[in-house]
Structure 1
Amino acid sequence: MIKSYTLDFCTLEIHDDYVLAVMNEGITVDKQNNAVLIEIAESHFDTPFVYITHRIHSYSVDPIVYIRTAQIKQLKGFAVVSKDPVQKTQTTYEKTFFNKEFWHFETMEDALKWKNKLLKKG
C-alpha cells in the first residue's frame, strides 16, 4: 500500500495499480463524496488503475456518480466485492451508468485477479 485515507464517509487505500474503498455504514455516495474520491484518484495515478469497492457495510450510491467517474482517463475498470446477492443485482443496475469495465466479485482475491488481467490487456 502506498497511502491510506480516512475520510468522513469511507476509508481508501491507494496501491500501485488500484484503489480499495470501504464506505461507511449508512452513507450515500453522492456527487460531493464522489468529487473527493476522484480528486484523490487523479492525484495518485498517471498510469492505468482499477477502483475496487469492498461493500462490507450497507450504504447507497447515487448511480449518476458513475458517469463522472468513468471520465477518469487512467481508470480502466470498477469492481464491487460482496457476497450479498442483493449487491450483485445492484451492480447490474449500476454498471449501466458506467461505460468501462464494471464487475461484481464475491472475494477480493477474484477482484484482484480480474484487475491484473484487465490491466495487462492495456
Structure 2
Amino acid sequence: MIKALFYEFGEINVFKNFVIAIMKEGTTVKPEYNDHLVEIAHTYFHNRPFAYITYRKNSYAVDPMVYLKTSQIENLVAFAIVSNEEHKIKNAEIERLFLKKPLEVFSNLDDAKNWVNQLIENEDF
C-alpha cells in the first residue's frame, strides 16, 4: 500500500494500480465525494491508468448520480465491486447503468485486485 487516506465517509487505500474504498456504515455516497477521487487520480496516478475497487464490508447507500461524475475521470479505467451479499450485487447491476467504465462484481478482494491488475498491465491506455 502506498497511502491510506481517511475521509468523513470512509477510507481510501492507494496501491500501485488501484484504490480500495471502504465506506463507513450508514454513509450515503454523494456526487461531491468525487472531488476526492479526482484529487487522488491527479496526485497518485498522474498520466497513468488506475482502477477503483469498492470493498463493500459495510452497509451504505450510493446516489447513482455519483457515477456520472466518476465516469469523467479520464485515467480511471475500471471499477470493481467486492461483495457476496445478494442485494449488494443486485444494486451493482443498477449502478452499472450509470457508469461509463468497465464494472465487474467479485465475491472476494483478491479476485478484484487480480482483475484490475491484469486489465491495467495488459492494456495500452
Global fold match (TM > 0.5): yes
- The 5 Å alignment of 1:1-122 reads 1-46=1-46, 47-119=48-120, 120-122=122-124
Partners in 1 of 2:28 and 2:91 — Cα distance? 14
1:86-122 deviations in Å (ceiling 9; x for gaps): 1110110001101110111000111011112211123
Q: TM-score, normalised by structure 2?
A: 0.92
Q: Give TM-score scaled by structure 1 length.
A: 0.94
Runs of 5+ consecutive residues of structure 1 not aligned to the other structure? none
Any runs of at least 4 consecutive aligned residues in structure 1 with deviations exceeding 3 A, and if so which? none
What is the number of equivalent residue pairs in this alignment?
122
How far 1:42 sits from its partner (Å)?
Answer: 2.6
Deviations 1:54-111 (A, max 9, x none): 0000000011111111111111100000111111101100011011101110001110
Could you give the per-residue CA deviations for residues 25-69 of structure 1, whole angstroms, max 9, x where no partner exists?
001000222222322233211211110000000000011111111
* Aligned residues with identical type, % of pairs: 39
Paired residues of 1:50 and 1:115 also in contact (CA < 8 A) = yes
